[in-house]
């Protein structure tokens, strides 16, 4: 299925969690001079206008990134994240929101490389346009299912990589494909840092996927979940999201425990809002 368009959801609470954690991971990778690759299996369009019809239809960014822009009490890492988002906009305005590829691009150094995959034909064309000025040697964009495309990227030549896997989960098969992708990827490149975003829903597949990822017995892992509201009475809809990370930076638990109470308060939609952090670090 290719009906999913991320523009409807750009800048919502799930994007904020995912992109904030991604920023922390990339910042850590930049603390070492050795080059690395950033690989995005489901890159989307890469950049979103918050005033277009897609974003305005549900206005999800208004209860997401918009709540952080004018917030007064932010941790240093949250403040840095907001500054990064604001740099894509005119001062005091919020007209644009960068997807994960554009956020990652800001962190890349001269010798780092980026590999972007997007299967949807319209989003692929937009992705190409958004990276038309990118250095061809540094960034490659492919119209391909990232579950397949990632295989040719692993292991990357510098033996360092951050991989973001966040399919739309339009169909239940995506939950199985994520586990299969990670299982194969760890065989090819066991020391990579793998970030898997997934929704919190009133259905069993997300939790089953998490359990199956943990059964792969990664040496180090972290799972951060943000619930923003009570599950709906009709059983439908997303009440939060999570990011499961294999081989996370060792500093990540402390940074998240410092910032997540603030982020949870800002993105809260009702009294059920909370965050949970679990990890296994050796």
| Domain ranges for the chain | 6-280
Pairing state between β 113-117 and 37-40 = parallel
Closest CA to 195 of 82, 29, 77, 64: 29
Give the position of tokens 């989307």.
44
Q: Give every CB contact of residue 151 below 8 A, 6+ residues apart in sequence.
A: 184, 185, 188
Is 83 annotated as catalytic? no
Instruction: Give the model's pLDDT for residue 219.
Output: 94
Write down the pLDDT at residue 275: 98
Quick one: CA torsion of 50, 54, 56, 60, rounded to 10 degrees? -80
CATH 3.40.50.150 holds for 6-280:
yes
Q: Roughly what angle, to the nearest 10 degrees, separates helices 205-214 and 173-188?
A: 20
From 27, 166, 173, 174, active-site residue: 166
Interacting residues of 263 by C-beta distance below 8 A, sequence separation 6+: 16, 17, 20, 68, 78, 226, 275
Extract the tokens encoding 211: 């359990």
Residue by residue, pLDDT tens for the chain (282 residues) are 455 557 778 999 999 999 999 999 999 999 999 999 999 999 999 999 998 765 566 789 999 999 999 898 899 999 999 999 999 999 878 999 999 999 999 999 999 999 999 999 999 999 999 998 765 679 999 999 999 999 999 999 999 999 999 999 989 999 999 999 999 999 999 999 999 999 999 999 999 999 999 999 999 999 999 999 999 888 778 999 999 999 999 999 999 999 999 999 999 999 999 999 999 998
Using CA atoms in the order 205, 21, 245, 45, what is the torsion angle rounded to 10 degrees? 60
């Amino acid at each position: 299925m290719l009906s999913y368009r991320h523009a409807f959801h750009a800048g919502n609470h799930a994007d904020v969690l995912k992109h904030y954690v991604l920023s922390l991971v990339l910042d850590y990778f930049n603390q070492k001079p050795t080059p690395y690759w950033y690989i995005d299996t489901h890159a989307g369009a890469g950049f979103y206008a918050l005033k277009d019809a897609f974003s305005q239809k549900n206005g999800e960014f208004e209860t997401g990134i918009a709540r952080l822009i004018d917030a007064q009490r932010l941790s240093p890492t949250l403040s840095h994240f907001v500054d990064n988002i604001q740099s894509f906009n005119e001062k005091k305005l919020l007209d644009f929101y960068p997807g994960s590829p554009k956020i990652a691009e800001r962190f890349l150094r001269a010798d780092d490389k980026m590999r972007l995959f997007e299967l949807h034909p319209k989003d692929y064309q937009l992705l190409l346009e958004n990276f038309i000025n990118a250095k061809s040697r540094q960034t490659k964009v492919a119209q391909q299912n990232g579950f397949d495309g990632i295989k040719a990227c692993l292991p990357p030549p510098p033996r360092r990589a951050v991989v973001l896997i966040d399919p739309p989960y339009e169909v239940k098969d995506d939950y199985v494909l994520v586990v299969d992708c990670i299982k194969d990827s760890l065989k090819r490149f066991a020391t990579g840092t793998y970030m898997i975003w997934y929704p919190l829903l009133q259905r069993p597949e997300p939790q089953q996927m998490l359990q199956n990822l943990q059964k792969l017995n990664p040496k180090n892992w972290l799972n951060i979940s943000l619930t923003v509201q009570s599950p709906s009475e009709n059983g439908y809809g997303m009440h939060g999201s999570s990011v499961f990370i294999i081989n996370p930076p060792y500093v990540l638990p402390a940074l998240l425990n410092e910032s997540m109470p603030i982020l949870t308060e800002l993105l809260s939609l009702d009294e059920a809002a909370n965050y949970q952090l679990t990890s296994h670090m050796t």
